[in-house]
């Protein structure tokens, strides 16, 4: 079935009390509109048209790449209702297809729900409805005695009897495009809000005898929109709960499903465990039997099987091999690549460095722009001095090196295989293999020296 998609994203969002356009506010780390675009793209439509308004060019600039080169962006100005918004998109819609209307501030509608609506509509008109315990504020679905949809009436225009109807319009519709274009020209703004309602096309379809199908989502939250920060926070928790449930079903142990945030994608192998208050951003992949301690933040990270990450670790754009031990309080910065059986301990920072099999830096170290071989021990307080104030330089540490505590390696420098650096060394030249290299100031003791004392108070 050929399909056009129109996404209405022109709302100002006054209740957000923000300079940021409403559809650019993030949910799970992505703009609201990006979630809608993602769902639309899964349907593989012939075209996507985004109708934007408030914050205009900022919205387009932020998401034009995600929408794709074949998408159209049209501005609705002034904003005179949903029908008026679709009028702006009409020139970009192919007549031989159906048009699916979505909303940029309704981010959680499942693709399966949209597919069910499209299938139910066939060549006719389809409306996604939902039945609510409290339908206040929503347009009601008015049916005849045989249950056939007759029209949609907005809350402000409804009679007392119509306001008691609990089945409501979500705004999401699929419409034969050629008929849609004709109906748009017949819409009137003779209503309480003085706007052109897209929902009025339902009554026009009934007049023409076009079948009107309805479908409902599995969950009410699929149709919830965002008009305030409170609603945004509510949807964030709903989304994270659903992600947590999927992880549990996939065999991941979560210490508390209510205390995990996935702001991107998280792929986990068998028998993984994740403690409380962890945040996963971008694309994160965990191998089998990976354990993540509490209060960790992982962004675009790959961790191989059997690795244990202790509490309060921050990792970004890094790759960790199998059976490593990381943290607590460790930081892996971009381009940190750890091989198997590496230990990175508390208050150790690694940036743009490769660390070989079995090597370890267990305490208080900075490793930057460095290549470390196999079975290297980096002592506490070690620093690779990689920056001269203008340029970065690389440090090479070969296999089986032992670096004593409180050592500074001033790059560019190489430590040969099997070398030992004595504690407190400042290394400015290459250290030869299989030798002890150290540099220390001469130690002296001063006899008769008196420790200074505070002077007495003056009167």
* Residue 267 φ then ψ, to 5°: -110, 125
DSSP labels for 186-229?
T----STT----GGGHHHHHHHTT--EEEE--SSGGGG---SSH
Instruction: Measure the CA–CA gap between 10 and 88, rounded to whole angstroms.
Output: 11
Query: Can 363 be counted among the known catalytic residues?
Result: yes
How long is the chain?
459
User: 437, 383, 372, 385: which is closest to 411 by C-alpha?
Assistant: 385
Q: Could you tell me how many helices (H) and strands (E) the chain has, helices first?
A: 8, 35
Q: Identify whether 79 is preceded by a cis peptide bond (ω within 30 of 0).
A: no
- Continuous segment of H or E residues that includes residue 389: none
Is the distance from CB of 301 to CB of 281 less than 8 angstroms?
Answer: no
Instruction: Measure the CA–CA gap between 270 and 340, rounded to whole angstroms.
Output: 19
Catalytic residue among 25, 239, 314, 363: 363
Instruction: Measure the CA–CA gap between 219 and 371, rounded to whole angstroms.
Output: 52
Instruction: Measure the CA–CA gap between 226 and 212, rounded to whole angstroms.
Output: 28
Is the distance from CB of 352 to CB of 336 less than 8 angstroms?
Answer: yes
Active-site amino acid positions: 363
């Amino acid at each position: 079935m050929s399909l056009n998609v129109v996404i209405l994203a022109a709302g100002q969002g006054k209740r957000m009390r923000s300079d940021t356009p409403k559809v650019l506010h993030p949910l799970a780390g992505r703009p609201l509109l990006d979630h809608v675009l993602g769902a639309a793209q899964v349907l593989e439509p012939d075209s996507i048209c985004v109708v934007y308004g408030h914050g205009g060019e900022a919205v387009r600039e932020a998401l034009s790449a995600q929408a794709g080169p074949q998408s159209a962006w049209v501005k609705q100005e002034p904003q005179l209702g949903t029908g008026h918004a679709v009028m702006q998109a009409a020139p970009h819609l192919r007549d031989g297809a159906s048009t699916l209307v979505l909303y940029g501030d309704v981010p959680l509608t499942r693709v399966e729900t949209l597919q069910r609506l499209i299938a139910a509509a066939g060549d006719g008109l389809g409306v996604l409805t939902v039945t609510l315990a409290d339908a206040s504020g929503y347009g009601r679905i008015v049916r005849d005695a045989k249950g056939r949809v007759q029209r949609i009436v907005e809350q402000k225009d409804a009679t007392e009897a119509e306001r008691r109807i609990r089945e409501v319009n979500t705004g999401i519709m699929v419409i034969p495009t050629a008929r849609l274009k004709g109906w748009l020209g017949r819409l009137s703004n003779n209503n309480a809000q003085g706007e052109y309602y897209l929902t009025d096309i339902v009554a026009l379809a009934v007049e023409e005898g076009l079948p009107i199908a309805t479908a409902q989502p599995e969950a009410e939250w699929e149709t919830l929109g965002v008009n305030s920060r409170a609603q945004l926070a509510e949807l964030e928790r709903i989304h994270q709960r659903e992600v947590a449930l999927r992880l549990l079903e996939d065999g991941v142990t979560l210490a508390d499903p209510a205390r995990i945030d996935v702001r991107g994608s998280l792929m986990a192998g068998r028998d993984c465990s994740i403690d409380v208050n962890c945040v996963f951003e971008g694309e994160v992949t965990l191998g089998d039997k990976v354990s993540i301690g509490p209060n960790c933040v992982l962004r675009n990270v790959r961790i191989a099987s059997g690795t244990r990450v202790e509490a309060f670790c921050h990792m970004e754009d890094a790759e960790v091999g199998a059976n490593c031990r990381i943290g607590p309080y460790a930081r892996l910065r971009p381009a940190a690549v750890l091989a198997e059986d590496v230990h990175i301990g508390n208050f150790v920072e690694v940036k743009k460095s490769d660390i070989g099999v079995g090597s370890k830096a267990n305490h208080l170290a900075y490793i930057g722009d460095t290549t470390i071989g196999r079975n290297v021990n980096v002592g506490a307080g070690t620093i690779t001095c990689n920056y001269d104030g203008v340029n970065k330089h690389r440090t090479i540490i070969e296999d089986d090196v032992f670096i004593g505590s409180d050592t500074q390696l001033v790059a560019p420098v190489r430590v040969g295989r099997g070398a030992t650096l004595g504690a407190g060394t400042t290394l400015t030249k290459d250290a030869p293999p299989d030798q002890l290299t150290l540099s220390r100031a001469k130690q002296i003791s001063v006899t008769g020296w008196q420790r200074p004392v505070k002077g007495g108070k003056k009167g």
